[in-house]
Amino acid sequence: MNRPAVCVVVPVYRAEATLDRCVQSVLSQKVAGGVGCVLVDDGSPDASGALCDAWAARDPRVRVIHQEDRGVSSARNAGMAAADSEFLVFLDSDDALRPGALQAALQAQQAAPGDFVLWHYTTGEADPAVAAPDADPRPPQGLARLWLDCLLAMPWNKLYHTALAQQIRFNESYTLGEDLQFVLDYIALLQRQRPGFSYRVVRSPLTYYNCSQTGTLSTRYHANYCEIWPQHFSKLNAACLAAQCPAEDLRLLHRAELTVYAEGVADILRRDPAPLDGLKRDKAAAALRAPWLQTLLEQMRAERCYSAYYLPCRWRSTRLLYTMAEAKRTGSPLYGKLDWAGYYLLLGRLRRD
C-alpha cells in the first residue's frame, strides 16, 4: 500500500457497539492521496480486538496493533508511531468522522500550509451541516480563546503533521487532561519549527463527538483531580503568556479555570470514596489551601475578575462551595442568589463581564 495522505489513529477499548461506525466513517472518506487507519486494541476485554482484525482482513488500509491494557495515551502513542502518512488525525472509537471531513481539513491546510488546522465538532449524529474547507484564521495570540471556545483541549479535532507529532508523546502517567498537554507540546514544537504560524479553524463540524460515552467530571470521579488540573493549567497559562494573549482573554481563562477547580473540590465532597465524611472534608479543605489556587485568586483580584466561586475559595469554605456547586448542578435558583450575593459583598470591585 502506498503512503496515504492522512492516517487516522483510533484507540480501541470496549468499543463493540461503536467501532464499526467509527471505522466505516474513516474508510468512506474521499481523500486525494488516500486514507489509512491504525486501530490500537488496548487489551479490550470484549470482542473489540476481533472486530479490529476483521476490518484489517477485508480492507488493506486498516492496520491493527494489539497491546496489553496500558491506557488511551499508550494506545495513541503506539498508533502515532505506526503512522506513515503526511498528516495524522486522532479519533476515538465511540466517535466518527463526518462525510467529507478529511478532505475539508486537507483543503484548509493547503490554503494555509504553515498554519495549524483545527475544526468544530457536533454532538448530533444526524447534524445536517455539510463539511466544507471554509476556515477562520486566528493569530498566535488567540490561544486562550481557543481553550475558551472548547477547541483546544482535545486531540481529535486537529490535523497534525505526522513527522512533527512523532517527535512528542502523550504523557502516559496522567489519567486526566493528558490531551491538553499533548496539544500544547505540539504547539510549542510548531512555534520552534515554524515561527509565526497561525491557527485556522474550519467552520464546519468535522467530527461527531459522542459525549454520552466519555468519562467526564459528571460521570467519572478522579481522586487526584485537584492535583492534576493545576499542572495542566500552569502549562496552559505559561503558553498563553508566551503567546501574548490579550488581557481580556486571560481574565476569562482564569475565571474558567477557577470554575473547573472549584467544581472538582465539590466533587471530592460528593463522590470521594473516603469512608468518613470528615476525611472528605479534610481533602477538600487541603485542595482549597493549594498554593496554585491562592496564586490564581491573587491574579483574579489584580484583574478585577469576579466568579461565583471566588469568595467560597477565598474564604476556604467547603460548605459554601459545595452548596453553590450542587445548586448549579441541579439547576437550583439558589446558585444565582448566592452568585449575586457574593458580587454585592465585594461592592462591585470585581467585574462580572
Residues in the chain: 353
Q: Is residue 352 part of a domain?
A: no
Whether 190 and 230 map to the same domain: the answer is no
Whether 26 and 46 map to the same domain: the answer is yes
Q: Of 184, 213, 242, at which residue does a domain stop?
A: 213
Whether 99 and 158 map to the same domain: the answer is yes
Whether 62 and 11 map to the same domain: the answer is yes
Predicted pLDDT of residue 249: 98
Q: Which of 15, 189, 160 is nearest to 79 (CA)?
A: 160
Q: Of 213, 237, 253, at which residue does a domain stop?
A: 213
Whether 113 and 153 map to the same domain: the answer is yes
Whether 165 and 27 map to the same domain: the answer is yes
| CA 274 to chain CA mean position, Å | 28
Whether 42 and 106 map to the same domain: the answer is yes
DSSP at 113: T
Q: Is residue 350 part of a domain?
A: no
124 residue type, one letter: G
d(C-alpha 226, C-alpha 338), whole Å: 24
Angle, alpha carbons 341-144-338 (nearest 5°)? 10
What's the CATH code of the domain at 168?
Answer: 3.90.550.10
The strand pairing partners of 161, in sequence order, are 87
d(C-alpha 344, C-alpha 230), whole Å: 29
How far does the chain reach from its first CA to its final CA, in angstroms?
Answer: 55
Number of folded domains that form the chain: 2
Q: pLDDT, tens digit, for every residue of 269-291?
A: 999 998 888 999 999 999 999 99
3-class secondary structure, 160: strand
Q: Which domain holds residue 330?
A: 225-345
The strand pairing partners of 138, in sequence order, are 199
**Residue 145 half-sphere exposure toward CB, CA atoms < 13 A:** 16
Whether 278 and 330 map to the same domain: the answer is yes
* pTM of the complete model: 0.93
3-class secondary structure, 88: strand
Predicted pLDDT of residue 213: 55
Q: pLDDT, tens digit, for every residue of 13-45?
A: 999 999 999 999 999 999 999 999 999 999 999
Angle between the N-to-C axes of helices 225-242 and 247-271, in degrees from 0 to 180, rounded to the nearest 10: 170
d(C-alpha 110, C-alpha 33), whole Å: 13
DSSP at 112: S
Q: Is residue 64 part of a domain?
A: yes
Q: Is residue 242 part of a domain?
A: yes
d(C-alpha 125, C-alpha 213), whole Å: 13
Q: Is residue 353 part of a domain?
A: no
What string of H, E and C letters represents the secondary structure of 15-65?
CCCCHHHHHHHHHCCCCCCCEEEEEEEECCCCCHHHHHHHHHHHCCCEEEE
- Unique residue bearing C-alpha cell 503512503: 3
Angle between the N-to-C axes of helices 225-242 and 178-193, in degrees from 0 to 180, rounded to the nearest 10: 20
Q: Is residue 220 part of a domain?
A: no
Q: Which of 22, 62, 12 is nearest to 42 (CA)?
A: 12
Q: Is residue 330 part of a domain?
A: yes
Whether 43 and 172 map to the same domain: the answer is yes
Whether 267 and 324 map to the same domain: the answer is yes
Q: Which of 88, 90, 91, 86 is nearest to 22 (CA)?
A: 91
Whether 104 and 199 map to the same domain: the answer is yes
d(C-alpha 256, C-alpha 254), whole Å: 5
Q: Which of 277, 274, 262 is nearest to 327 (CA)?
A: 262
Predicted pLDDT of residue 196: 84
Q: How many CB atoms sit inside 10 A of residue 266's CB?
A: 24
d(C-alpha 331, C-alpha 15), whole Å: 33
Predicted pLDDT of residue 214: 47
Residues of the chain with pLDDT under 50: 214-218
DSSP at 3: P
Q: Of 213, 240, 274, at which residue does a domain stop?
A: 213
Whether 181 and 230 map to the same domain: the answer is no
Q: Is residue 23 part of a domain?
A: yes
